[in-house]
């Protein structure tokens, strides 16, 4: 606590009296002034940095190895082994790059930003969020579809960093070691190669604006978001050590991959050459050239050097997603009901019915939650205030509940 003015009170560190300082804080046997407190804070920060600890709280000895990162991801995401391996290695190399010190040669490690391609509901966002959770670094998700060039209706590019600052409680040092997931990156693809009298302010213009963020530069960011104006206080953020992970469905890119691989060429030689191509999962053959054909400019592709894909989820994978991960949908609902003292169980037939409906609706893993919610809504409304303390969801119960819900009318041609 701060003491009132008293000539006998003085700082035990610098000897200044209370009249010479702004604040004098009392301890058990002495006092410390505000100036000595600030100096002590700086000394602690310098000591932490000299021991090889980054502002994000990661040391080289505590940095998880790629195999450990993938093992952690396996607890939350089913399948997608290729994407997990690429992501684990890229994140590990990125934070090794940040932690490098006392560099005595001319070798400078470049950023390893990542782009993930996969259909909706295959786990792109969950992969990025889970790996940030393990590393305990600031993480934010931004939607590329709302971004436009400065001066047009929509959000400025700098709003990406505003959200990261907010997540980091406006700690710039922590934000500069964070992870940003840019979703729907495919939606800012160049509309066409034909010149037009109108500007592509939400497509190629946004890609051009993202270049400086992805590569690394000092950006003036409005801390509260919104449009810039001359009198607004800006925060300078260096994006050199921010890891950017981009994700998108790139709907229709399979046709461009097939065209590049000449899978439709007729003739015996062509059929022999293409017999080993997995036509059910063309994304495994994706290259930067396909992204360029889709509409991403070469400059932004070059700043996203790590390209990986996510496999489409089959029935078996969806069934495992429903029950196996640490944060599986079934476990989430069982936790919700247990807080009201209700025991919830799902029959195998009910689980299979839910998965079959998710496949029918073509919503991927994300659709599982919507279907379970529609099935459980009546029980979640009545059981907390009722006397029944046990609920077993059977296939017939799930069928009846879903057919009586609005979701039952959802159909995909």
SS (H, E, C) 330-381: HHHHHHHHHCCCCEEEECHHHHHHHHHHHHHHCCHHHHHHHHHHHHHHHHHH
Where in 235-348 does DSSP place strands (E)?
Answer: 235-238, 243-248, 306-309, 343-346
CA angle 377, 381, 384 (to 5 degrees): 130
Which two structure tokens, joined as six digits, stand for 204?
């190629």
pLDDT value, residue 73: 94
Within 10 Å of residue 56's Cβ, how many Cβ atoms? 22
User: What residue ranges of the chain are covered by domains with CATH 1.10.8.60?
Assistant: 315-409
41: helix, strand or coil: helix
Q: Which residues pair with 217 in a beta bridge?
A: none
d(CA 74, CA 84): 8
250 closest CA partner among 208, 201, 292: 292
245: helix, strand or coil: strand
pLDDT < 70 regions, the chain = 1-8, 45-58, 101-105, 149-154, 191-202, 225-232, 263-275, 407-413
Relative to beta strand 114-117, strand 218-221 is unpaired
User: What residue ranges of the chain are covered by domains with CATH 3.40.50.300?
Assistant: 66-309
pLDDT value, residue 3: 44
Of the options 1.10.645.10, 1.10.8.60, 2.60.40.1230, 3.40.718.10, the CATH number for the domain spanning 315-409: 1.10.8.60
pTM over 0.95? The answer is no
d(CA 180, CA 165): 11
- Give the fold, CATH level 3, of 66-309: Rossmann fold (3.40.50)
End-to-end CA distance of the chain: 70
The answer to whether the beta carbons of residues 138 and 204 sit under 8 Å apart is: no
């Amino acid at each position: 606590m701060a003491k009132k003015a008293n000539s006998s009170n003085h700082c035990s560190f610098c000897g200044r009296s209370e009249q010479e300082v702004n604040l004098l804080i009392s301890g058990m046997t002495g006092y410390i002034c505000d100036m000595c407190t600030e100096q002590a804070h700086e000394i602690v920060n310098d000591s932490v940095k000299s021991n090889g600890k980054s502002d994000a709280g990661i040391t080289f000895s505590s940095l998880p190895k790629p195999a450990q990162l993938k093992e952690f991801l396996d607890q939350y995401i089913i399948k997608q082994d290729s994407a997990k391996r690429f992501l684990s290695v890229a994140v590990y190399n990125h934070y090794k790059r940040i932690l490098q010190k006392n560099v005595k040669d001319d070798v400078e490690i470049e950023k390893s930003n990542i782009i993930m391609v996969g259909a909706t509901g295959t786990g792109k966002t969950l992969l990025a969020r889970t790996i940030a959770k393990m590393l305990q670094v600031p993480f934010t998700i931004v939607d590329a579809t709302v971004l436009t060039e400065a001066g047009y209706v929509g959000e400025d590019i700098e709003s990406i960093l505003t959200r990261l600052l907010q997540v980091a409680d406006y700690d710039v040092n922590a934000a500069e070691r964070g992870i940003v997931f840019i979703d729907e990156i495919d939606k800012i693809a160049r509309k066409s190669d034909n010149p037009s009298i109108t500007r592509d302010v939400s497509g190629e213009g946004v890609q051009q604006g993202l270049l400086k963020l992805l590569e690394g530069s000092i950006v003036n960011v409005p801390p509260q978001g919104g449009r810039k104006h001359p009198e607004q206080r800006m925060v300078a953020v260096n994006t050199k050590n921010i890891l950017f992970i981009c994700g998108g469905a790139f709907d229709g890119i399979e046709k461009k991959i097939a065209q590049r691989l000449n899978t439709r060429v007729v003739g015996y030689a062509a059929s022999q050459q293409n017999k080993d191509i997995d036509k059910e999962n063309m994304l495994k053959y994706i290259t930067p050239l396909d992204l360029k054909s889709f509409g991403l400019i070469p400059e932004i592709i070059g700043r996203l050097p790590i390209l990986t894909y996510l496999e489409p989820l089959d029935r078996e994978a969806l069934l495992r997603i429903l029950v196996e991960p640490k944060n599986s949908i079934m476990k989430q609902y069982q936790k919700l009901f247990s807080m009201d003292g209700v025991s919830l169980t799902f029959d195998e037939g009910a689980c299979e019915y839910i998965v079959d409906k998710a496949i029918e609706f073509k919503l991927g893993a994300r659709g599982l939650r919507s279907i379970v919610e529609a099935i459980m809504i009546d029980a979640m409304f009545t059981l907390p205030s009722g006397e029944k303390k046990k609920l077993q969801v059977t296939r017939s119960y799930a069928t009846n509940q879903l057919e009586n819900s609005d979701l039952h009318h959802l159909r995909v041609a």
